[in-house]
Amino acid sequence: MPRTAVPNPEQVSADSKRALDMFTNNIGFTPNMLATFAQSPIAFNAWATLRGSLSKSLDLKTRESISLAVSEVNGCNYCLGVHSHGAELVKMPADEIILARKGRASDPKRDAAVQFARKVIETRGQVRDADVKAVCDAGYTDANVMEIVALVAMYSLTNFFNNVFDPEKDCSGRFVSGVSRASFRDRMTGMRLIPTLIDQNPWAQARKPMEMMRQGWSMSLFQAWQQ
């Protein structure tokens, strides 16, 4: 249950509005998390600046994979939904999204980065020499490793924010995080399952593919749900 009210657009501080409008224009709507976060211009703009800088690090699929691995460890339902959608937008298939949540990737270099990111969050940074060597041996520089650590911190910030304030999930019904088919659960063994709108959606339970497409499901995720 949300622990703070989501402000109306006219209630958003002028100091937050520029960054919030930028995100709204980029994704087509204002997520509850961002509107809530914007109540503190200091915290919100600090995060937005960090996010803007780190958007230049590594590659997009690696960043999305790290976001999923970190959000899984931190148990952030909201971020798992959002980042599953982000992964879809960069054409990551459903199997790859699930793999990322487990802290792995099919691409060897990306796999090294995601494994390292998961170890950073699980150990609170107390990684071993061998962990650093493994990610460097995969082709990452010391600067890249620093960027991975910064990404872990950035994604953890939004994870913690959402876990504390629990904003209403305004997009989770579309994404792989809440798929409820038994076979999909088997493929996600050992992972937290996220209760989302698809579990409650009578059209989905009745296996109505066209309605699911209208809700925004991609064919790849629908097929994964159907198997």
In a domain, 129, yes or no: yes
- The CATH number assigned to the domain holding 100 equals 1.20.1290.10
Which of 175-179, 189-193, 213-217 has the highest mean predicted lDDT (pLDDT)? 189-193
**82 and 129: one domain?**
yes
pLDDT in tens, 51-100: 999 999 999 999 999 999 999 999 998 899 889 888 988 899 999 999 99
Q: Is 189 helix (H, G, I), strand (E, B) or coil?
A: coil
**159 and 99: one domain?**
yes
Report, as an integer, the average pLDDT of 164-193. 53
Confidence band of 47 (pLDDT split at 50, 70, 90): very high
Within a 13 Å sphere around the CA of 224, how many CA atoms are in the beta-carbon half? Answer: 23
CA 68 to chain centre: 5
In a domain, 3, yes or no: no
**161 and 217: one domain?**
no
Select the more confidently predicted residue: 180 or 27: 27
In a domain, 2, yes or no: no
End-of-domain residue from the set 165, 180, 196: 165
pLDDT at 213 over 60: no
Q: Would you say 55 and 22 are in contact if contact means Cβ atoms under 8 Å apart?
A: no
Percentage of residues in the chain with pLDDT exceeding 70?
75
**43 and 64: one domain?**
no
**193 and 153: one domain?**
no
In a domain, 33, yes or no: yes
Could you tell me how many helices (H) and strands (E) the chain has, helices first?
A: 14, 0
Q: Quick count: other Cβ atoms within 10 Å of Cβ 12?
A: 19
Q: Which residues contact 146 (CB under 8 A, 6 or more apart)?
A: none
**95 and 133: one domain?**
yes
Distances (CA, A) of 126 to 71, 119, 153, 186, 217: 19, 8, 14, 32, 39
**151 and 81: one domain?**
yes
**106 and 139: one domain?**
yes
**66 and 117: one domain?**
yes
**149 and 179: one domain?**
no
Q: Is 105 helix (H, G, I), strand (E, B) or coil?
A: coil
pLDDT value of position 171: 60
Q: Would you say 46 and 68 are in contact if contact means Cβ atoms under 8 Å apart?
A: no
Q: Count how many domains the chain has.
A: 3
In a domain, 4, yes or no: no
Confidence band of 4 (pLDDT split at 50, 70, 90): confident
In a domain, 85, yes or no: yes
**101 and 139: one domain?**
yes
In a domain, 143, yes or no: yes
Q: How far apart are CA 99 and CA 96, in angstroms?
A: 5
pLDDT at 178 over 80: no
CA dihedral for 84, 88, 91, 92, sign (positive or negative): positive
Cβ-count burial of 206 within 10 angstroms (0-12 exposed, 13-18 middle, 19+ buried)? Answer: exposed
**71 and 149: one domain?**
yes
Q: What is the pTM of this model?
A: 0.75
In a domain, 1, yes or no: no
Q: What is the domain extent for residue 194? A: 172-226
pLDDT value of position 161: 95
